[in-house]
Amino acid sequence: MPRRPSRDDLAVALARAREELRRSRRENRNLRRENQVLRGAAEPLIHDAPARERFTFIHERRDRFSAKLLCRVLVTDGANYRAWVRSLRKRSDRQHDERRLTALIFEVHATHPAYGVLRITCELQRRGVPVGRRVVARLMRENGIAAVTRRRRRNLTRPDAGAAVLPDLIRREFTAPIPGLKLIGDISCFATNGGWLYLAAVVDLCSRDVIGYALAPHMGAGLAADAINAAHRTGLVAGNAIMHTDRCRISKAAA
């Protein structure tokens, strides 16, 4: 049979229990003080942090700690956190739907490159996809999808009603027996990243070669004069040469 503890043994065990209790109380008191210090230092950061960051912090640690405990420590309303979690699921579903919709927009754009927002929206609705014009426009803008359209042609041959009427010395005979006798000129334009660029050229009707040209960012009188001077400097122009051009309107201010 086990020996009954004596009074001295009970006194020693009681003393040890009292000492353990005093040590536990001392540790708890120190922990409470440390928690108060940490909370006092963290509360300004917690209150200044956006609610979305606090909700994300709680959501990432919900497997280790209860959401109720995290909300209490971070001074966050639990109802607002639960509402954020519900909206997070909705956002995830919406992002999945938008990825599927973007793939359909790419498919329609690949088949019909000239389709813009309205026509792509109509095509998707015809396929049974319930989508609005604004959503299609946003997804196309975010993914760099744009309709492929031809540039509008610029008409440079606009007759100048105020110009003097000159006789047609060539008389619609666009051939020449010798080089340098009959010349024709024209102006073309090209779209560049820096704007429109104008090219004036002089062509020999005998050799069909370009014997002079000039480039400028404007269609001024100086552009045509520079092209004619460039042709004259080559020495391929006869003294009695005829220069034939359209009666187009040329800006004098840009000359």
**Contact (CB, 8 A) for 230 and 214:** yes
* pLDDT at position 122: 92
User: What's the mean per-residue pLDDT of the chain?
Assistant: 81
Instruction: Please identify which residue in the block is written with the tokens 């008191």.
Output: 29
Q: Is residue 187 classed as helix, strand or coil in its secondary structure?
A: strand
Rounded-to-integer distance, Cα 38 and Cα 34, Å: 6
How is residue 177 annotated by DSSP? S
52 CB burial (10 A radius; 0-12, 13-18, 19+)? exposed
Residue closest to 42 by CA, chosen among 70, 16, 75: 75
Query: What residues form DSSP beta bridges with 199?
Result: 188, 215
Is 133 or 88 the better-scoring residue by pLDDT? Answer: 133
- Identify the band that residue 254 occupies on the pLDDT scale cut at 50, 70 and 90: very low
**What length is written for the chain?**
255
pLDDT in tens, 27-80: 888 887 777 666 655 666 666 777 778 888 888 888 888 888 888 777 678 888
* pLDDT at position 2: 61
pLDDT in tens, 103-123: 999 999 988 888 889 999 999
DSSP string over 216-252: ESS-BHHHHHHHHHHHHHTT-S-TT-EEE---B--BS
- Identify the band that residue 129 occupies on the pLDDT scale cut at 50, 70 and 90: confident
Task: Find how far residue 132's CA is from the centre of its chain.
Answer: 21
- Identify the band that residue 150 occupies on the pLDDT scale cut at 50, 70 and 90: low
* pLDDT at position 252: 41
Query: What residues form DSSP beta bridges with 191?
Result: 196
Residue type, 42: A
Other residues' Cβ atoms within 10 Å of the Cβ of residue 225: 14
12-16, 58-62, 116-120, 243-247: range with highest mean pLDDT:
116-120
